[in-house]
Each structure stands twice: as C-alpha cells, then as structure tokens.
Structure 1
Amino acid sequence: MSHASAAKLTLYGVEALDERRALIASLARAGRNLSPADVRQLRRALFEDVGVSRDEAQALFDLERVQDAPCAEWTEFFIECLTDHVVWQCRPTGVVGAEQAEWLVREADRCRTLTGVALLANVLAEADRAPAWMAAAVRVRAQAPEVQAELARQA
C-alpha cells in the first residue's frame, strides 16, 4: 500500500504539502543568492494558504544561511514570513513562548547574519509578549561589533 502525501487546496488546485518544503530546500541546495523572481515564487507558494509550518520555517533558516549577498526582497520576505509564523500563526497569537523564543534565537544565531538579528528585533516589536530574557539577548546581538560594522557599511 502506498502512502499519499498530505495535500491542501490552493489557488492553483490540489498541491502536496511536501512541495512547499521541497521548493525551499531546492533553493537552499542551489547555494546561490536568491533573485527577486525566486522570492516572488516563494511568496506565492507560502502565502497562498494559512502560512508556514515549523518545518518550512526551519527550511527558510537553511535558505538564509546560504545567502551571502541577499536581495532586498529576500530580506523583507524572510523577516515578514518568520515573524508571521512565530508571532501570529502560533497560539496564543501575539505571544512568543519560551520554547519558540529559544528556537528563534538559536536559529538566528546559526545564520550569523544581519537579517537574523533584524528578524529577532522585528519579532520583539510585533509581539504583545515575549520572555524578558529575549529582549536582553536581542540587544546583545544588535550591539555586537560585527553587526554594528555591517550596519555602518550599509549606511
């Protein structure tokens, strides 16, 4: 007996849920910076439904790790998509729990990018409530010399 993949009804018909994760993984495996067209494709695939799963969010972090010169569209999409996942899709909405905060900070640290730090700051700005330690952790990361140097370079 074969196992069918989970499916969902999308604007484009019935689509396997695994295809969304496969799209993200294929872009990460390519190991190249995303183009604005790639980001538009991701946006269509991920935002046509109720949002992203934790597995897909994890895959987006993997994709962020291969970006060495991200386009502005990727940075905006990454921050928007993951903020939406953590703050608004997880229940209770608006609340970042300790487990979510630990996962988010750990993954942002693994990225070692300005985009990761910007994501953390954006999550804090949008959340109604987050663990107190998270604000302190984000402040330390934002004040790191390499982050400040990158901000100065981009100014």
Structure 2
Amino acid sequence: MINASLQDFCNRIAAAGRITTADLSVLGDELLPDGITVRDEADLLIALDRAVPVSNPAFADFLVAAIVDFAVWGERPTGYINAETARWLAASIGNGRGPTATGARIAVEIVREAQASDETLIAFALAANRRVAEGVDVETRLAA
C-alpha cells in the first residue's frame, strides 16, 4: 500500500514537471526516511522518473540507490534477484516501452549489486545498457 503523502508528492511533482533539491529533501527525509519498503512505492517512483520531463541528476541518483537497496536487500531472498522479482523489475522499469536512462542505470546497478540475478533481469539490463551506450532512445520498446 502506498502512503497517501507519497502519492500526493508524486502528483505534485508530475504536475510541476520538475523535481527540485528541496523536493528531494522532503522525499528522503520525510516521506521515505527508511527507504522504499514496498513495491508500490518503487513503482510510483519509477513512474515519476518517466513523468518528469526535466530530469534532476540528484533525483536520478536517489532513485537508483533507493531501488537497488530495496530490490537487492529489502526483497527476499536477500541479495538475490529471483525470477519473480526480475519480471516485476523489468516490467516496472520498462513500462512496455523500454526504460528511461535512469531505469537502465537501475537495472544495471541491481545486477552488479546482487549476488545473483535471474536471467530475465540480466538480459533486460544488458539490452538497456547497450541502447544507452549506442545513444538509442531508451524510451522506445526494447526488442525481446
């Protein structure tokens, strides 16, 4: 279940079209002081990354660290990305169109951080990383 305050925050940021440093302080210090605790929060923040047209590098860094920490160390089995978690991550980050540049970073960093990852996420991360390296618009759907 998503905290209503987090939902309100994301709605406000999406409407504004940008996230400020002050917004990041509120997000980290007040709304998610213990980090992401449920998948719905992760999904909401991943969607916020896609919804905000002007990316804030500090938000991208926050989001990558928060999603990696949650997926690798908050989900069970700890330290491993199993098939079910890999499918959830690929679907959430990819959103049917392919990941944002930040989403591609998230996938790659999760694979790096985890002791082992299901092949679904590894393949997704490699494809996303390749598209970013080639300068391909990562918003377009990744080839299966």
TM-score interval, normalised by the smaller of the two chains:
0.7 to 0.9
Judge conservation of contact 2:107–2:124 (CA < 8 Å) in 1. no
Aligned AA (2:115):
D
Equivalent position of 2:66 in the other structure: 81
Given the superposition, is the C-alpha separation of residues 122 and 27 from structure 1 closer, same or farther in structure 2, using an over 3 Å criterion? farther
TM-score by length of 1: 0.75
- The partner residue of 1:40 within 14, 21, 25 is 25
Judge conservation of contact 1:117–1:142 (CA < 8 Å) in 2. yes
Consecutive unaligned residues in structure 2, runs of 5 or more:
138-144
Equivalent position of 1:3 in the other structure: none
Q: C-alpha distance in 2, partners of 1:113/1:120?
A: 11
Q: Considering only CA atoms, is the larger Rg found in Structure 1 or Structure 2? A: 1
- Residue 121 (structure 1) shift: 0.3
Aligned AA (1:69):
V
Task: Pick 1 or 2: higher relative contact order, CA cutoff 8 A, min separation 6.
Answer: 2
Aligned AA (1:148):
E
Aligned AA (2:102):
T
Given the superposition, is the C-alpha separation of residues 50 and 117 from structure 1 closer, same or farther in structure 2, using an over 3 Å criterion? closer
- Residue 136 (structure 1) shift: 2.4
Q: C-alpha distance in 1, partners of 2:35/2:9?
A: 17
Equivalent position of 2:88 in the other structure: 103
Count of residue pairs brought into register by the alignment: 135
TM-score by length of 2: 0.80
Identity %: 24
Consecutive unaligned residues in structure 1, runs of 5 or more:
1-5, 7-16
Deviates more, 1:102-111 or 1:91-100: 102-111
Equivalent position of 1:130 in the other structure: 117
Equivalent position of 2:15 in the other structure: 30
